[in-house]
Chains A and B, each alone.
Chain A
Amino acid sequence: MAKLWAIVIKEYRHLIRDPKTLLMIVFTPLIVTILFGLGYGGSPGRVPIALVLEDMSSLGYRLALKIRNVPPFDVAYTPRTRYEAMDLILDGEVFAVVIVPRDFEEEVMKGRGFIEVIVDEANPLIADLLASALDKIAYEIQLQVSEKARHPVVKVIIRTVYGPTVSKMESFMPLVLGVLLHLVPMSLISISICRERELGTFEQLVMTPISKWDIIVGKLIAYYTATMSDLVLTLAIAVVLFEVRVRSSLMDLIIFSSAFLFCSLSIGMLISVLARNQLQAQQASIFFFIPSLLFSGAFTPLKMLSPFARTMALTLPMPYFVNGIKALMIRGFSLLDVLYDLEAILIIAMLYFLSAIYMLKLKL
């Protein structure tokens, strides 16, 4: 036990005194999370649109107000005529124009009301988004009008458990966490043993009555606690800066992530045991990371992958992690609901861990 502790302390000292590892541990999650957040953090009012209000009735105003509050859109211009608005699209100032036509209220009362939307053909995605947002608004307006006129109404109550209310950043969190808790720990620990071989410190180390368990478990503990900070950091940035919500209990999330972290570290450890030098180790961890990323299920659902890729994905810890994190963070499930993923991750981790211990030779 004292030996194990000695190894842990020694590894901490290496980690703290090497500015490169510190930088990697602290800055990678910082940069990756912020980049993802800036790229996908769906803060409202990002897509500029123009609104032309030709009808000055109260219903017209009410509609305009609703349009201003649709999350991804920002009413950047309110030109007086539709011709001015058209120019804005052509100049690339706005992506779409919404026109509330003259006599809108009257036409609605007659049952013939419509809203005109002009979209930039180059952005079909925005057109779809805007169309569905406006559908919803139109439906609400219709509902209000019908109720006032005491017409019979069929209300559709949409309860969103998850889906539309999830911001884009939230849906990317499983991937962000997966990337950070896989690549950083794996590549960090992958050089830990072969570096000792390269520097010649291994020769002295293995002359002591130390066991393989002491070396491997000691290093794992040190790197585990050090890279656990990546989870904390990533979550903190996502929550504070990009308003990401963790819907499950934090404890469940930490336990689940810990298992994955252990798995990443075990894989890195096996690489370190097998690699001849540091360069080889770094390359091997990146080589391992690529299929993990591609077949993670974050880009394409696993069901749509080729049978080969699907089989391969089964052996990688990343798809299980992405799946489990989705369930925890986004759907708000508990650890019990992701037991299958947790078990899979732990089994893979144990395989790599035991192989690392088996393969480590206390020799030159």
Chain B
Amino acid sequence: MVRNLFKLLLPPWIKRAMEYVVLLKDLTKRFGSFTAVDRLNLSIDRGELFGFLGPNGAGKTTTIRMICGLLEPTEGEILVFGHRMPQERIKVLKRIGYMPQHFGLYEDLTVYENLDFYASLYGMSRNEKRRRINELLDVLLLKPYVRTPAGKLSGGTKKRLALAVALIHEPELLILDEPTAGVDPPLRRMFWKYFKELNKAGVTIIVTTHYMDEAENCRRLVLMSRGKILAEGSPLEVKRRAFGGDLISVRVRHKDKHVLMAFEEKLKQLPGILEASLRGLYDHGTEYLVIVEDASELIDDIVRIAENAGLEVSVSQVQVSLEDAFIKLLEGEHGQVMGDSY
């Protein structure tokens, strides 16, 4: 009662903060003099499918562990469901499902015994336990391994078991640290299909991964390197940020050098064009690489000016992968000179 009343009186920005599932403020973790996580600011909304990307040692696991309240931050603040971590972690543990990067279940216990043990720790009744365990065994195709000691399972099956344990108590927030590392492609696809289903059903999911193709599935992601966030947003936004906008390839067949130069002039003056550069020659033609704010608005304009100039033209948007964006951003961070990218 008092608590709710108190909530009503709070200023709106704090109320908003309470709606966030996770809120990180200047989060920093140092191991000795080494800074693993460097002043991270981030918020994750309810219902998001949020990805952490980054090379080895970027600080993903360290960040996730701090969100779980397993590690104490050196500086900064963590709110999970509005509760300070790790001080108030006991209040939110029941709402979090966690799958660590390394297999953390008992290898001498069978699949069923592991599930049963964790179900008991969440205070589930006997019937509840049986129902939930059978459900998970079915969904994650673990039925054949019920009596197998966890240590004897293959890598992919271990990951499925770990996921089952993370889900045993039907958490609102699912935190997965590299759930698909060392998992074969069909199973990876199955995992992601399942994550999306869960997400649709209202589970907030935080996931780390090295696989860029998977990351496209995230609604929002951050790219981390050396403890810092390099880019943040939807996969599309991250790609745009990496290159400064959408990439369009413009190919024209030229007969006359002057016509071509006039076209190039006009192209550069077109509003919305951020950068246009000669990319190279291809059989009897020339290709330009154009960076624009939004490709969908400008493709028609480009076609128009080319046709006005009497050129044969083909315009297409370059499909950039997250991997390209990732590498571009990392190179930018390392201050290297771009090679022959697009």
Indicate whether B194 reaches chain A with its CB closer than 8 angstroms: no
Min CB distance B59 to A, Å, is 15
Residues of B contacting A363 with CB < 8 Å? 69-72, 86
Most buried by A among B65, B86, B123, B162: B123
Question: Contact between A10 and B70 (Cβ–Cβ < 8 Å)?
Answer: no
Indicate whether A13 reaches chain B with its CB closer than 8 angstroms: yes
Assembled-state Cα–Cα distance A206/B123 (Å): 14
Q: Chain A: which residue is nearest B121 at the CB level? A: A208
Question: Contact between B122 and A13 (Cβ–Cβ < 8 Å)?
Answer: no
Chain A positions within 8 Å of B, measured between CB atoms, are 2-3, 5-6, 9-10, 13-14, 17-18, 199-210, 363-364
Residues of A contacting B106 with CB < 8 Å? 10, 13-14, 201
Residues of A contacting B118 with CB < 8 Å? 204, 208
Our pick among B69, B93, B108 for the contact of A13 (Cβ within 8 Å) is: B108
| Count of chain B residues near A, Cβ 8 A | 31
Indicate whether B102 reaches chain A with its CB closer than 8 angstroms: yes
Residues of A contacting B68 with CB < 8 Å? 207
Question: Contact between A10 and B117 (Cβ–Cβ < 8 Å)?
Answer: yes
Min CB distance A207 to B, Å, is 4
Our pick among B90, B100, B121 for the contact of A3 (Cβ within 8 Å) is: B121
Min CB distance B110 to A, Å, is 9
Question: Contact between A5 and B108 (Cβ–Cβ < 8 Å)?
Answer: no
Residues of A contacting B122 with CB < 8 Å? 208-209
Assembled-state Cα–Cα distance A2/B113 (Å): 15
Q: Chain B: which residue is nearest A201 at the CB level? A: B104
Question: Contact between A6 and B120 (Cβ–Cβ < 8 Å)?
Answer: yes
Residues of A contacting B24 with CB < 8 Å? none
Indicate whether B105 reaches chain A with its CB closer than 8 angstroms: yes
Assembled-state Cα–Cα distance A210/B122 (Å): 8
Question: Contact between A207 and B90 (Cβ–Cβ < 8 Å)?
Answer: no
Residues of B contacting A209 with CB < 8 Å? 90, 93-94, 121-123
- Other than the given A13-B106, A204-B100, A209-B94, 6 more pairs (CB < 8 A) read A2-B120, A13-B109, A18-B108, A204-B98, A206-B70, A363-B72
Assembled-state Cα–Cα distance A210/B46 (Å): 26
Question: Contact between A200 and B121 (Cβ–Cβ < 8 Å)?
Answer: no
Residues of B contacting A208 with CB < 8 Å? 93, 118, 121-122
Question: Contact between B102 and A200 (Cβ–Cβ < 8 Å)?
Answer: yes
The 12 sampled A-B contact pairs (Cβ below 8 Å) are: A2-B123, A3-B120, A6-B121, A18-B108, A199-B107, A200-B104, A201-B106, A204-B100, A205-B121, A207-B70, A209-B123, A364-B65
Indicate whether B211 reaches chain A with its CB closer than 8 angstroms: no
